[in-house]
A and B are shown apart, each in its own frame.
Chain A
Amino acid sequence: MSDQVLDDGERAALAAVLAVILPSTSGPGATEARAADHACARLEGPLAHRLDDLRPVLARAAEDPEGTVADLADAGDPRFEELRSLAWEGFLCDPARGGNHEGVGWARFGTGPRRKARR
């Protein structure tokens, strides 16, 4: 088993991928939500078993995040859906989980928590 912790380069590549999936073009996106903080916590925690499969993607994304995401999506690669799911999580999760910084994702969707999460 490889290292269960993302290094700085992998963290930056992951943040870049999430920003391609949910960009800040027309309002807050993955970057403003700090979605990568949440995604890193998930990948170093309950989703650590997925790291080996995702590391080659992050390695390529460090050079070309746009091209990497486009190729994964075009190829129907299941890692595209996996990364897109992490982007949504980081954008819309309860802020206590590390993403959705100051509720920017909820604000963009015009909503907020209906009940408080227990974290």
Chain B
Amino acid sequence: MIVHDPVDVCVVGLGAAGGTIASGAAAAGRSVVGLEAGPREDPVRSFDADEVAHAVDRRLLWSDPEVMVLDDQPPQVGPWLARNRGVGGPFAWSGFAYRMLPSDLESWPIGYEDLEPWYERAEELLQVRGLAGEHPYDAPRRGPYPLPPLPRVPGTERLAEAARSLGWHPYHPPAAVGPSCDRCGLCTFYGCHTGAKGGTLAHLDRPGLEVRAGATAVEVVDTAGAPRRAVRYLDERGEAHEQPARVVVLALNAPYVTRLMLLSGLGLDNDQLGRHLTFHTGTMAWGVFDEVLDVDRAPAQQVGVADLSEARPAAAGAPFRRGGLLHAGMPAAFTGGPLAFARALDTTVPLPEGVPRYGDGLLRFAAHAYRRHQAVYVLGEDLPQPENRVELDPEVTDRHGLPAVRYVYRPHPEDLAQQDHLREAARRLLEKAGATQVAALPPSPVPGGIFAGHAHGTTRMGHDESTSVADDVGLVHGTDDVFVAGAGLFVTASAVNPLLTIVALALRAVPAIVDASGR
């Protein structure tokens, strides 16, 4: 075991949350070590348009086994949760950068007014594009977005027009896509060849912060000395290390924070750790038009519709409390180019009726539809349930021999009704826009958000120590030196992509972490 010199702060996981906190703590003068299991790549220099490497082999995602127990069915081994591997995680994602809304935060220990200044800073940090006041359901704002919205490709403008004709209020979805974007459309799973989706990477090169890539944390230990905590990790060669620190910040994806805490015996006092796991509900419809649309020649943030989000469908009599967003443009399933599109047909997206599964009919259809398709995909709120949880699998292990994450999940009945409602809305929007062949995903108990990397809860924040795992800045109850960061703290999932809230919460936690590490 290699034992390193103590530091003030050890951050485990250098994605959106960990990168923000590591950078912020170092800027405040703390000595910081950041541990990241994945590699450190320059997203510009290492960018590669090879579809086989990215859309097929998912080079930038983890492929470790995970176990899903869905609706009491027999366990199914995957990888399930799409998890970015590498320092600066969000650079390989699409870059949706929504604020949560006041109604999303009603059961949280903090309100929108607490988060708003941190949202503003997060938007500056990530160079978010958008148009303030464009639709009536946007989050309250004190000022404009840092950058103007992405221009739409002509093919998606017709979806906006169709939404208006249905009485909805289409808008430009907020996008963390900086000014260097050249609209190549290779976003999700690809990194970024211009650095427009730099995430937190640009902020990690600062004095006082040492980044250790290829470092897989396996346990947080009580040293019974000073400092009291240390993180044990394995390097790429499998050699064991120990990094003592005055404060440890666990900033992994939510299920992996839970796994590390379970392996470390942390947060076990009240049977809350791992519970209230939420993803997002997800479904989609897509259609083929007569004209060439080329919707994949731009980032995914083309058209948003929030008219069926929050409690608006319920107010109109729908049998579910929380709705979701519709987005028109290119879904992650198609991201990349013709190969990604063709492989998705009949696997992750359904074929329109009458199209054969192989042969000349399939080839002719795919070749025609590639430049003429448009999708409407849905991100809905997944209601929290204590029985939905993360555990350690008793049998399956990862490449280090650690127990695999095991998801125990059952969709809420209201979420299934919500998906039905929103799927039909997506179909209606496509038909209104003039799609000639439309297909929609069949109903499924699998939470669609898992394929977008959206996992929340399991280490929820709260003032009541009997019903939560950490306080409102992420300090784990019963400790004064272990923090949790990231979407694991979310009390509810909302219907928006988690990136901006993850970064806002991380920025909000930095002063507390700096303070705790200076005692």
Interface status of A20 (Cβ within 8 A of chain B) = yes
- Residue-wise, chain A 23-52 has the 8 Å CB interface mask toward B (1 for contact) of 101110100000000000000001000000
User: Which of chain B's residues have a CB closer than 8 A to the CB of A108?
Assistant: 363, 367
Interface centre among B57, B343, B370 (most CB of A within 10 A): B343
Interface status of B511 (Cβ within 8 A of chain A) = no
Q: Once the chains are docked, how many angstroms separate the CA of A110 from the CA of B367?
A: 8
| Size of A's binding interface in residues, CB under 8 A | 35
Do the beta carbons of B343 and A115 come within 8 Å of each other? Answer: no
Q: Is the interface of B mostly helix, strand, loop or mixed?
A: loop
Do the beta carbons of A46 and B371 come within 8 Å of each other? Answer: no
Q: Once the chains are docked, how many angstroms separate the CA of A114 from the CA of B340?
A: 13
- Given A23-B363, A26-B360 in contact, is the A117-B338 Cβ separation under 8 Å? no
Interface status of A5 (Cβ within 8 A of chain B) = no
Interface status of B480 (Cβ within 8 A of chain A) = no
Interface status of B447 (Cβ within 8 A of chain A) = no
Chain A positions 79-104 with a Cβ under 8 Å from a chain B Cβ? 80-81, 84-85, 88-89, 91-94, 97
- Given A26-B364, A93-B51 in contact, is the A111-B371 Cβ separation under 8 Å? yes
- Given A23-B363, A114-B337 in contact, is the A109-B358 Cβ separation under 8 Å? no
Do the beta carbons of A94 and B363 come within 8 Å of each other? Answer: no
- Given A26-B363, A109-B367, A111-B370 in contact, is the A117-B48 Cβ separation under 8 Å? yes
Do the beta carbons of B339 and A23 come within 8 Å of each other? Answer: no
Contact of B339 among A22, A46, A92, A110 (CB under 8 A): A92
B92 to chain A, nearest CB (A): 15
Closest to A93 in B: B52
Do the beta carbons of B338 and A105 come within 8 Å of each other? Answer: yes
Interface status of B460 (Cβ within 8 A of chain A) = no
Interfacial residues, chain B to chain A (CB-CB below 8 A): 47-53, 56-57, 184-186, 193, 292, 297, 337-339, 342-343, 346-347, 357-360, 362-364, 366-367, 370-371
In the complex, the 3 A-B pairs of residues with the closest C-beta atoms, listed nearest first: A117-B50, A115-B49, A25-B360
Q: What would be 21 A-B contacts, judged by CB atoms less than 8 Å apart?
A: A20-B358, A21-B362, A22-B358, A22-B363, A25-B360, A27-B364, A69-B358, A73-B357, A88-B342, A89-B339, A89-B343, A93-B339, A94-B49, A105-B338, A108-B363, A109-B370, A110-B367, A111-B370, A113-B49, A113-B337, A115-B49
Interfacial residues, chain A to chain B (CB-CB below 8 A): 20-23, 25-27, 29, 46, 69, 73, 80-81, 84-85, 88-89, 91-94, 97, 105-106, 108-111, 113-119
